[in-house]
Amino acid sequence: DTAVSQTPKYLVTQMGNDKSIKCEQNLGHDTMYWYKQDSKKFLKIMFSYNNKELIINETVPNRFSPKSPDKAHLNLHINSLELGDSAVYFCASSQFRGTSTDTQYFGPGTRLTVL
């Protein structure tokens, strides 16, 4: 019973294409996140959603558009892929928003390679 799952695990695509990464959590959490880990292993938050509402948008290019059809899902759509988008993308969830103590649960990651 995977708590936070992502599909696909690997994604290889050409520059200029549009792709989506899906994330689902079965923990009943209200808040979901997307993080990006670049080639130097630096992890940085991109977005967070609470009950389908965008809470955090960390100056991510407009080509990235998160979509939350319901509070258990947060998908990431990327338009016009660029070489620099190659990274591992992690989805995460937490029970509440706006707390300093809540634990975030991470998915296994999606490795995106743009050729």
Partner 1 sequence: DAKTTQPNSMESNEEEPVHLPCNHSTISGTDYIHWYRQLPSQGPEYVIHGLTSNVNNRMASLAIAEDRKSSTLILHRATLRDAAVYYCILRGYNTDKLIFGTGTRLQVFP
Contacts with partner 1, residue ranges (CB under 8 A)? 4, 31, 33, 35, 41-45, 48, 50, 55-56, 58, 90, 92, 94, 97-101, 103-109
Distances (CA, A) of 14 to 23, 80, 84, 109: 22, 9, 12, 20
Nearer to partner 1, 45 or 72 (CB): 45
C-alpha–C-alpha distance, residues 93 and 114, integer Å: 26
Minimum Å distance from CB 83 to partner 1? Answer: 22
Shortest Cβ distance from residue 31 to partner 1 (Å)? Answer: 6
